[in-house]
Structure 1
Amino acid sequence: MTSNLLWVSFLLAALTLSITFSLQPDQPKVLLVSFDGFRWDYLYRVPTPHFHHVKEYGVHVKQVTNIFITKTYPNHYTLITGLFAENHGIVANDMFDPVLNKSFSLDNMNIYDSEFWEEATPIWITNQRAGHTSGAAMWPGTDVKIHKSFPTYYMPYNESVSFEERVAKIIEWFTSKEPINLGLLYWEEPDDMGHLLGPDSPLMGPVISDIDQRLGYLIRMLKKAKLWNVLNLIITSDHGMTQCSEERIIELDQYLDKDHYTLIDKSPVAAILPKEGRFDEVYEALAHAHPNLTVYKKEEIPDRWHYKHNSRIQPILAVADEGWYILRNKSDDFLLGNHGYDNALAEMHPMFLAHGPAFRKNFTKEAMNSTDLYPLLCHLLNITAVPHNGSLRNVQDLLSSPTPRASPYTQSPPLLHGSVKPRENEQEEPYAYFIGVSLGSIIVIVFLIIFIKHLIRSQIPALPDFQAEISQPLLQA
Structure 2
Amino acid sequence: MGCQAVLLAAALAALLAPGAAAPVPRQGARSKLLLVSFDGFRWNYDQDVDTPHLDAMARDGVKARYMTPPFVTLTSPCHFTLVTGKHIENHGVVHNMFYNTTSKLKLPYYTTLGIQSWWDSGSVPIWVTAQRQGLRTGSFFYPGGNITYQGEAVTLSRKEGILHNYKDEQEWRANVDTVMRWFTEDGLDLVTLYFGEPDSTGHKFGPESQERKDMVMQVDRTVGYLRQSLESHGLAHSLNLIVTSDHGMTTVNKKASDLVELHTFPNFTFKDIEFELLDYGPNGMLLPKEGLLETVYAALKDAHPKLHVYKKEDFPKSFHYANHSRITPLLMYSDLGYVIHGRLNVQFNNGEHGFDNREMDMKTIFRAVGPNFKKGLEVEPFESIHVYELMCQLLGIVPEANDGDLSTLLPVLRSGSALQASGRPPLVMGMLVAGTLLAKIR
User: Which TM bucket (shorter chain)?
Assistant: 0.7 to 0.9
- Matched with 2:312 is 298
User: For the Cα contact (< 8 Å) 1:39–1:347, is it kept in 2?
Assistant: yes
Residues 1:364 and 2:375 aligned together: no
User: For the Cα contact (< 8 Å) 2:184–2:233, is it kept in 1?
Assistant: yes
- Matched with 1:251 is 261
Residues 1:148 and 2:151 aligned together: yes
Q: What is the letter of the counterpart of residue 311 of structure 1?
A: S
CA gap of 1:337–1:217, structure 2 versus 1, over 3 A, is same
CA gap of 1:402–1:347, structure 2 versus 1, over 3 A, is farther
- Matched with 2:276 is 263
CA gap of 1:104–1:185, structure 2 versus 1, over 3 A, is farther
| Residue among 44, 69, 72 paired with 2:72 | 69
Query: Distance in 2 between the 1:423 and 1:387 partners?
Result: 10
- Matched with 2:178 is 169
Unpaired runs of 5+ residues, structure 1, are 1-21, 410-421, 428-477
User: For the Cα contact (< 8 Å) 1:387–1:423, is it kept in 2?
Assistant: no
Query: Distance in 1 between the 2:209 and 2:236 partners?
Result: 34
Query: Distance in 1 between the 2:237 and 2:27 partners?
Result: 19
1:132 deviates by: 0.8
The farther-off stretch of 246-255 and 362-371 is: 246-255
Instruction: Please give the per-residue CA displacement for 1:342-400, whole angstroms capped at 9, x wherever unaligned.
Output: 11111101100000010000000012110000000000000000100001100111111
The within-5 A match list for 1:281-360 is 281-329=295-343, 331-360=345-374
1:309 deviates by: 1.4
Give the TM-score taking structure 1 as reference length. 0.78
* RMSD over equivalenced CA pairs, Å: 2.2
User: For the Cα contact (< 8 Å) 1:372–1:391, is it kept in 2?
Assistant: yes
The within-5 A match list for 1:39-438 is 39-97=42-100, 103=105, 105-107=107-109, 109-118=111-120, 119-158=122-161, 159-160=164-165, 162-176=171-185, 178-248=186-256, 249-255=259-265, 256-261=268-273, 262-265=275-278, 266-329=280-343, 331-401=345-415, 404-408=420-424, 425=430
User: For the Cα contact (< 8 Å) 1:298–1:308, is it kept in 2?
Assistant: yes
Instruction: Please give the per-residue CA displacement for 1:312-356, whole angstroms capped at 9, x wherever unaligned.
Output: 111111110011111125541321100011111111011000000
User: For the Cα contact (< 8 Å) 2:39–2:246, is it kept in 1?
Assistant: yes
Query: Distance in 2 between the 1:258 and 1:103 partners?
Result: 17
Instruction: Please give the per-residue CA displacement for 1:212-236, whole angstroms capped at 9, x wherever unaligned.
Output: 1111111121111111222100000
- Matched with 2:16 is none
User: For the Cα contact (< 8 Å) 1:384–1:426, is it kept in 2?
Assistant: no
Query: Distance in 1 between the 2:117 and 2:229 partners?
Result: 37
Query: Distance in 2 between the 1:97 and 1:402 partners?
Result: 51
Structure whose CA Rg is larger:
1
SS class of match (1:353): strand
Query: Distance in 1 between the 2:143 and 2:109 partners?
Result: 14
1:279 deviates by: 1.4
SS class of match (2:277): strand
User: For the Cα contact (< 8 Å) 1:93–1:105, is it kept in 2?
Assistant: no
CA gap of 1:382–1:115, structure 2 versus 1, over 3 A, is same
User: For the Cα contact (< 8 Å) 2:281–2:347, is it kept in 1?
Assistant: no
Unpaired runs of 5+ residues, structure 2, are 1-24, 433-442
The farther-off stretch of 194-203 and 161-170 is: 161-170
Query: Distance in 1 between the 2:304 and 2:397 partners?
Result: 49
1:424 deviates by: 5.8
1:89 deviates by: 0.3
Between the two structures, name the one with larger relative contact order (CA 8 Å, sep ≥ 6). 2
User: For the Cα contact (< 8 Å) 1:136–1:142, is it kept in 2?
Assistant: yes
Equivalent pairs counted in the alignment come to 392
Q: What is the letter of the counterpart of residue 194 of structure 2?
A: Y
Instruction: Please give the per-residue CA displacement for 1:410-437, whole angstroms capped at 9, x wherever unaligned.
Output: xxxxxxxxxxxx966579xxxxxxxxxx
After TM superposition, where is structure 1 displaced by more than 6 Å over at least 4 residues in a row? Answer: none
Q: What is the letter of the counterpart of residue 276 of structure 2?
A: L
Query: Distance in 2 between the 1:215 and 1:284 partners?
Result: 50
User: For the Cα contact (< 8 Å) 2:137–2:190, is it kept in 1?
Assistant: yes
SS class of match (1:203): helix
User: For the Cα contact (< 8 Å) 2:263–2:344, is it kept in 1?
Assistant: no
Instruction: Please give the per-residue CA displacement for 1:43-68, whole angstroms capped at 9, x wherever unaligned.
Output: 11210000001000000001211100
- Matched with 1:33 is 36
